[in-house]
Amino acid sequence: MTIYDLRPFYVPQALKIKLEPHEYENLITEIVLKPPGKTLQPEFFFSIPIFEFILIQIHQKMAVAKPFNFKKWIDDNRHLLKPPVGNQQVYKGNDDFIVMVVGGPNSRKDYHYDEGEEFFYQLEGDIILKIIEDGKPKDIEIKEGEIFLLPAKVPHSPRRPANTIGLVMERYRRPGEKDGFLWHCENCGEKLHEEYVELTDIVTQLPPIMERFWSNMDLRTCKSCGTVMEK
C-alpha cells in the first residue's frame, strides 16, 4: 500500500482517478475511504492534516500492456547498454520481477549474493558467469542463445565482454532481505571481504561499499596466499 496526499487531486464525483505523473502512467489507481462514515466532501479533504491521511489507501495494479518488439527495444536502447550505464529495466511499476537488459563490457570483480533465483538469457555474444560453489570459484559459460537459472543464495559475478547483451530476470526484494557483495582472491579463491545491506537505492548505496573495499589494502590482501587484488 502506498500513501499519497490526494488533496490537490480532489475530484468531487469520482471514486477513481488516474494520476498523470510519468512514473504512474501505467498504473490504475483506486481510492478507498475509511472509515465508511466519511464522505467525499471538500471540507473533509482540506480540514485534516496530512499525517492523518492514512485514511486514504491507494491500491495499485498494473494495466495490461501490449506486446512489443523486443529486438527493436534493444536497438532503441543500445546506446545505454554499455558503460557507464550498462543496463536498462524493461518493465517498471510491476510487482514481482525485475526484467532488465544488460550489456558489456563490465569490470567489476565482486560477487553478488541474492536471496532469490536469477534467470539469464544471453542474446548477443558469450559471457562467463563466475560463481562460488562449496566455497570455491567456478566458471559457467553462457553462450549466445543459451539460458541459465542461477539458484538462490549463490554468489555470482557476470563477466561481460564488449558487444554482449543479455536478458536478466530476478525478483524484487522482500522486506528484510539483504544483498551481499563479496570478493574472493583471484589466486587461491579465499574470501577476502563481504558486506551485506538491505538495498533501497543501489545508486547511492553501492559506491560506498566499493570504496571501502578498494581503498583498504588490508581487505584486498589475501590472508591465505598474500595476493593483493587490483582493479
Question: What domains are there in the chain, each with its CATH number?
Answer: 7-62 (no CATH), 70-220 (2.60.120.10)
Residue 133: is its pLDDT beyond 80?
Answer: yes
Binding site residues for Fe cation, as ranges?
Answer: 112, 118, 156, 185, 188, 222, 225
Binding site residues for O2, as ranges?
Answer: 108
Binding site residues for substrate, as ranges?
Answer: 118, 160, 170
Q: What is the pLDDT of residues 165-217, one digit of tens each?
A: 999 999 999 999 999 999 999 999 999 999 999 988 888 999 999 999 999 99
User: Which comes out higher in pLDDT, residue 99 or 28?
Assistant: 99
User: Which comes out higher in pLDDT, residue 60 or 104?
Assistant: 104
What letter would DSSP give residue 108?
-
Lowest mean pLDDT among 73-87, 125-139, 153-167: 73-87
Residue 63: is its pLDDT beyond 50?
Answer: yes
Mean pLDDT calculated for residue range 108-133? 97
C-alpha cell at 52: 492523518
Place of cell 547483451: 165
Residue 104: is its pLDDT beyond 70?
Answer: yes
Residue 84: is its pLDDT beyond 60?
Answer: yes
Instruction: Round the average pLDDT of the chain to a whole number and report it.
Output: 81
Three-state SS at 2: strand
Cα-flanking dihedrals φ and ψ of residue 161, to 5°? Answer: -70, 170
Binding site residues, as ranges?
Answer: 108, 112, 118, 156, 160, 170, 185, 188, 222, 225
Give the confidence band of 75 by pLDDT, cuts at 50, 70, 90.
very high
